[in-house]
A and B are shown apart, each in its own frame.
Chain A
Amino acid sequence: GQQVMQIPQYQHVQEGEDFTTYCNSSTTLSNIQWYKQRPGGHPVFLIQLVKSGEVKKQKRLTFQFGEAKKNSSLHITATQTTDVGTYFCAGPRNNNDMRFGAGTRLTVKP
């Protein structure tokens, strides 16, 4: 069955450094979504990518969807302490089944 793999599992950066997390699927995805979970909180939707090769930006966050629609990345430029949390990608296995990657936990040292 479809698996959504996400790397790295952990990333510790100095404030101001960039951060990237990668998501790979064993099958083609109709879309991919990204979520952020703050420590102690619940995942919150950030963005959805649908088109092959799509790139979207939200301030310092850049999201990409691969040409084959099997991989995606989230890049944060110049991290801040407010970026701390776990970032998840998610891809629907079928119309009903939402699978999440294992998440990348980001810590930022001020």
Chain B
Amino acid sequence: SQTIHQWPATLVQPVGSPLSLECTVEGTSNPNLYWYRQAAGRGLQLLFYSVGIGQISSEVPQNLSASRPQDRQFILSSKKLLLSDSGFYLCAWVGTRGSEAFFGQGTRLTVV
């Protein structure tokens, strides 16, 4: 069966520090992968999605970047975190066109 792993679960980082969040998927190949951010009590903002290795679509220009070095690995990064980067980051995958999205457990990032 397919599973999605996202870590860490919580993270407290100082302003100006780098960030690397990793998401991996098991049990499927060539998934569409997504990074969403959810501010406290708010909706899901699509940050990046990827349809294949090295293919990244950015939705909102900001202080973040994404990479897909392997088929089932999706990484969210920042060189210098801002206070406004705090939030709940969710990785998701979709196996086939138009099918349901499966979410990771999420990473709660607090920038201090």
Cross-chain pair count, CB within 8 angstroms: 56
Of A35, A43, A44, A96, the contact of B49 (CB 8 Å cutoff)? A96
Q: Nearest 10 A-B pairs (CB), nearest first?
A: A102-B43, A45-B100, A100-B44, A42-B103, A103-B43, A95-B97, A42-B106, A96-B51, A43-B103, A96-B32
A97 touches B49 (CB 8 A): yes
Known contacts A43-B103, A95-B98; A102/B90 CB under 8 A: no
Say yes or no: A42-B104 contact (C-beta < 8 A), given A97-B49, A98-B34, A103-B44: yes
The residue that A102 contacts in the complex, of B42, B49, B99, B100, with Cβ under 8 A, is B42
Classify chain A: how many residues form its interface, as a range: 20 to 34
Instruction: Determine the chain B residues whose CB is within 8 A of the CB of A96 once the complex forms.
Output: 32, 49, 51, 57, 97
Q: Choose from A41, A45, A101, A105 the contact partner of B101 (Cβ within 8 Å).
A: A45
Q: Looking at the assembled complex, report how far the CB atom of A91 sits from the nearest CB atom of chain B, in whole angstroms.
A: 10
A33 at the interface (CB under 8 A from B): yes
Size class of the contact patch on chain B? 20 to 34
Could you tell me which A residues sit within 8 Å of B by CB distance?
Answer: 6, 30-31, 33, 35, 41-45, 48, 88, 90, 92, 95-103, 105
B101 touches A33 (CB 8 A): yes
| Supplied contacts A43-B44, A88-B44, A102-B42, 13 more A-B pairs, CB within 8 Å | A6-B43, A33-B101, A35-B101, A42-B104, A42-B106, A43-B90, A45-B100, A96-B97, A97-B46, A98-B34, A98-B46, A98-B94, A103-B44
- B41: Cβ under 8 A from any A Cβ: yes
The one of B41, B57, B105 that contacts A42, using a Cβ cutoff of 8 Å: B105
